[in-house]
Amino acid sequence: MSPKASLSLQQKVSVTLLAVMAALALLSYLVLNATVAPAFAELELAAAEKNVVRAHRAIQNELENLGATVGDWAPWDDAHKYALGENPRFIKSNLDIPTMINLGVDLLIIYDARGEALWSQLLLDGKLANHEKLAVLQLIESKPQELIYHTDLQGSKEGLLRTAVGPMLLSSRPIITSDKTGPIVGTIIMCRFLNATRQAALRERTEVSLTWHLIDSESLLDESLMEDIVAGGAGSFTYAVDDEEIRAYGLLTDLFGEPLLILQADTPRQISALGGRTVNGALLFLSAAGIVIAIVTWLLLRRIIVLPLERLANHITGIRTSGDLSLRLNEKRVDEIGALACEFDKMTLQVHDARRQLLDQSFKAGKADTAAEVLHNIRNAMTPLINGIDRLSKTFRIAGDLRVQQAIEELYDQECPQGRRDKLLQYVRSAFSHVEQASDRAVQDLQVASRQARQVEAILSDQERHANVAPVIESLELQSMIEEAALVIPDKDTSGIELSLHPELARFSVVAHRVGLVQVLGNLILNAWESIKRSQSESGSIRVTARIDDSGERSLVRVTIADSGCGFTDELHPKIFQRGFSSKRGHLSGLGLHWCANALASMGGRISAESAGADRGAEFHVVLPGSTTEAASARRRKQQGRDREVGKDREIVVAEMAGRMQREYAQR
Amino acid sequence: MNTHSGNRIRVLIADDDEHILQCYRMAFGENDATDFVGSLGSLEAELFDQDAESPAAPKFEIVACNQGGDAIALAARAATEGRPFDVVILDVRMPPGIDGVEAGSEIRKLDPEVEIVFVTGFSDVPISELARRVPPPVKLHYFNKPLSFMELAESVAGMVRAG
């Protein structure tokens, strides 16, 4: 894969991850603001409403408390007698200022059965005050039926009442005996002002920021807000919300059901603030988690997918630029990419094998076609030649059988009859005529033979031209070449000859003509096998090893085929690679070591042999241009890090090497 | 078996090499020399060895061509004229036209009795394939070049006599 393509894939992954992360953050923001924030706002409103209810309940408790106090004083024989005018000391004994302060009562009034006020006392801020100036009694007495007169022994009248000094809690009960039997002899009324002191006390007790507003023209509340609250009626709540707090309002009515007081509970927006912090915290956490996940995912994708794909792409590029199908990824992973790499290796191997088979097949097919054509043409050319010679032979055989000598001897005989003499003369003339014709035909036949011989020579010259075509030079895995060459040993060989291939062979590759190399190696292995067989020993071994040959500047591989066979003497050593030499007694040799030496030379290699002597085995060393697979791996790694120019350089070097070897082959 | 006219054996020969056709003609006695040698032999027998006179050599009537298609046409015309060939000799490779095997197969359809002889320098068609395509095997013969056409002529005469 080119660097540009690699970056493109990484960019796609990065952009995709960033887009997914941004979408996730936006979605989280929307979801949290649509669900969590409103929930906190509702919770906050509920808290504000609860504060109003709590304030309202606190005022009700005040009223109940006042009612309970009145409930203690009204059914009392002392008070009963006082209302009847029978206990004048009642006031002095029970109703002094400290008692009223202790009871929390600001106004206390005792009426007789006729509704006449028997005694009253008003305290403002703990001090006696003139209630007449404040017109509180007049206010109460203006509603005697509702506030003063009681018909039920257990009856009570409690509620809020508007006064000149502010709203006031009022509780009224009939005065009866302690055993709560009648008759009703009067009414006792206790009042408690909702002043600033009590407001502070209620705030402290309820822990609610509580205020109240009288419904009148002097109210500080917005007029429209007040109208909304009044329109909502008692029991409903109205809210005014700003950034700092929620102001919740509730309506209180007086004893007569008229709107009197607006309760205001101020609730700081702590819940909303908490909700906001929660949402922000959640968003921050999700963002951080998203970033971490994105980074981890990116790294994993890069390590698990991008880099392996990049390696695969570089591998493919390496094969394309070098044309070396022997390169392998050898990926050890067991996932899909590992399977892909493995399958690619298998496919490359199959293509390699297919190319090799195709080369073999084309080579053999070419040879077969050439052989067929040559056979056909040469046999056609030979046929007139042979028939001419055959005819020539027959003609002269006839001439040789002529009995001319006998005819002439009879003609010398004077006693030969004239008739026979004439026929003998005719015979002699015909014989000479036949010899003359035979000579003419012989000349023709020899001319035909000469022409056909030239035709054969022309056919052979044409084949000589084809012999100069250079074979394909390629990188070859040495072990597979030797394994293929070893197939020359008969399958059913039971002679106990062991052929061992050194494991190190798998490391080496050589640059050579495949078919030629297989034939050379096969010839050497077969020679070794036959040498052992000739040695008459019961067992033997053929060992094939390889190593780097560092004797020259070029990278060379030395392959050694060592056998335990007949070996050869020092006298034979110089002749081994000569044309026609064979150590096989009475056996038709194969390609021969002379041919092997020439073939290896044409591939840029060489061959040598050594032996410790007769019956002491032999070693044949084949040296060829090549490189180790480790070097090939290093080349691949280097190639991944290089730019395209480096790849081109290497391609040029390989092309030059192949071209040089092909030129050498053609020259030879 | 086809009935040859008089003592002459009719032979159709197809080979793309004119020199080989010339060899065929010489071997199968289609020239004056044969007659001349025959008359000389008769005179010699009369003068020196009356009892050792050799039997008369077979006579051939040769029709030659260079292509398989021409051989089919000649065989068809001969069959139409009522003068079928006794023996057909075919080269296997006769470029650029059809090969000898295909020609033999077509000629066999025209004349089931004719002896068909394949003579070739090299054939990439196995003999079993030849027998399948040009049956019956008893009337199919195969010779490899180079060979003595005089011996072939004797074999052809033998085929006709045996047939």
CATH number of the structural domain spanning residue A105: 3.30.450.220
CA angle (B133 as vertex; B131, B137 as ends), nearest 5: 25
Tell me, yes or no, if A448 comes closer than 8 A to chain B by beta carbon. yes
pLDDT on residue B33:
55
**Chain B residues with beta carbon closer than 8 angstroms to that of A387:** 23, 26-27, 146, 148-150
* Structural domain ending residue among the three candidates A437, A467, A497: A467
Instruction: Name the residue with tokens 């922000």.
Output: A280
Let me know whether A501 and A397 are in one domain.
no
pLDDT per residue over A448-461, tens digit each?
A: 888 888 888 888 87
Contacts of A430 in chain B (CB under 8 A): 36, 39-40, 43
User: Could you tell me the pTM of the whole model?
Assistant: 0.43
Residue B3 pLDDT greater than 60, yes or no: no
Model confidence band, residue A404 (pLDDT cutoffs 50, 70, 90): confident
- Looking at A467, A490, A521, which one is the last position of a domain? A467
Nearest CA in chain A to B44: A427
The pLDDT of residue A460: 81
Domain count, chain A: 3
**The pLDDT value given to residue B51:** 56
Task: Quickly state the pLDDT bin for B56 (edges 50, 70, 90).
Answer: low
Residue type, A79: A
Kindly indicate the confidence band of residue B55, based on its pLDDT and cuts at 50, 70 and 90: low
% of chain B beyond a pLDDT of 90: 42
Q: Do A394 and A508 sit in the same domain of this protein?
A: no
B44·A376 Cβ contact <8 A: no
Q: What percent of chain A has pLDDT over 70?
A: 87
Out of A147-151, A578-582, A601-605, which region has the weakest mean confidence (pLDDT)? Answer: A578-582
| Residue in A376, A390, A423 nearest the CB of B47 | A423
Assess whether A563 and A463 both reside in one domain: no
- Which pLDDT score, from 0 to 100, does residue A438 have? 81
A54 in any annotated domain: yes
Domain CATH number, residue A578: 3.30.565.10
A357 vs A501: CA distance, rounded Å: 23
- Span A524-554, pLDDT tens digits: 998 898 888 888 787 889 999 999 887 666 7
- Model pLDDT for residues A631-655, shown as the tens digit of each residue: 455 444 444 454 444 444 444 444 4
Query: Does A388 sit within 8 Å of B27, measured CB to CB?
Result: no
Interface predicted TM-score (ipTM) of this complex, two decimals = 0.80
A394 and B CB contact within 8 Å? yes
A220 within domain boundaries: yes
Residues A166 and A52 in one domain: yes
| Residue of A375, A391, A423 with shortest CB distance to B26 | A391
- The 10s digit of each residue's pLDDT in A103-146 is 889 999 999 888 888 888 888 888 888 767 678 888 888 888 88
Indicate whether B75 pLDDT > 70.
yes
- Residue A276 lies inside a defined structural domain of this protein: no
Q: What are the contacts of B135-144 at 24+ separation with CB within 8 A? A: B135/B108, B139/B113, B139/B114, B139/B115, B139/B163, B140/B116, B141/B115, B141/B116, B141/B117, B142/B117, B142/B118, B143/B117, B143/B118, B143/B119, B144/A379, B144/B119, B144/B120
Question: What's the whole-number mean pLDDT along residues A313-340?
Answer: 83
Measured torsion, CA atoms of residues A249, A254, A257, A260, in degrees rounded to the nearest 10: -40
Distance from CA of A434 to the nearest CA of B (A): 8
DSSP state of A244: S
**What chain B residue is nearest to A368 in terms of C-alpha separation?**
B124
Residues A479 and A392 in one domain: no
The minimum CA-CA distance between A414 and chain B, rounded to whole Å, is: 17
CB distance A636 to A331 below 8 Å: no
pLDDT value of residue B71: 95
Q: Are residues A589 and A634 in the same domain?
A: yes
Pick A519 or A219 by higher pLDDT. Answer: A519
pLDDT tens-digit series, residues A273-324: 888 888 888 888 888 888 888 889 888 888 888 888 888 888 888 888 877 7
Shared domain check, A113 and A234: yes
Domain C-terminal end among A415, A435, A467:
A467
User: Does A384 contact B37 at a Cβ distance shorter than 8 Å?
Assistant: no
| A548-600 tens-digit pLDDT | 887 666 788 999 999 999 898 888 888 888 776 766 644 434 457 888 888 88
Predicted confidence at residue B140, as pLDDT, reads 94
The pLDDT, as a whole number, for residue A449 is: 83
Look at residue A83 and tell me if it is in a domain: yes
Q: What is the pLDDT of residue A650?
A: 43
What's the pLDDT band for B112 if we cut at 50, 70, 90? very high
Residues 6+ apart with CB under 8 A from A455: A381
Together in a domain, A208 and A101? yes
As a whole number of angstroms, the distance between CA A378 and CA A56 comes to 131
Instruction: Report domain extents, chain B.
Output: 8-162
- A666: pLDDT strictly greater than 60: no
Whose tokens are 């003419």? That residue is A440
In a domain, residue A306? The reply is no
The shortest C-alpha distance from A428 to chain B (Å) reads: 10
Does A7 fall in a domain? no
When mean pLDDT is compared across A162-171, A316-325, A394-403, the lowest value belongs to A394-403
Stated length of chain B: 163
For residue B66, list chain A residues with Cβ-Cβ distance below 8 A. Answer: none
- Interatomic CA distance for residues A389 and A25, integer angstroms: 104
A464 min Cα distance to partner chain B (Å): 21
Average pLDDT of chain A to the nearest whole number: 82
The verdict on residue A348 lying in a domain is no
Domain of A230? 41-268
Measured between CA atoms, the residue of chain A closest to residue B39 is A430
A106, A188: one domain: yes
pLDDT score of A486 more than 50: yes
B44 has a chain A CB within 8 A of its CB = yes
Q: Between A and B, how many residue pairs show a Cβ–Cβ distance under 8 A?
A: 88
Judge whether residue B98 has pLDDT over 60: yes
**Same structural domain, A384 and A521:** no
- Over residues A196-227, the pLDDT tens digits come to 888 898 889 888 888 888 887 566 678 888 88
Q: What is the pLDDT of residues A34-60, one digit of tens each?
A: 888 888 888 888 888 888 898 889 899
Share above pLDDT 90 across residues of chain A, in percent, rounded to a whole number: 10
What pLDDT is recorded for position B100?
92
**Res A2: pLDDT:** 44
Of A132, A126, A76, A137, nearest in space to A103 by CA = A126
**CB A434 to CB B37 under 8 A?**
yes
**Does the residue A497 lie in any domain?**
yes
Higher pLDDT, A659 or A182: A182
Asked if residue A547 and residue A420 are part of one domain, the reply reads: no
The superfamily in CATH containing domain B8-162 is Response regulator (3.40.50.2300)
- CA distances for A625 relative to A361, A474, A554, A603, A652, angstroms: 25, 11, 7, 8, 17
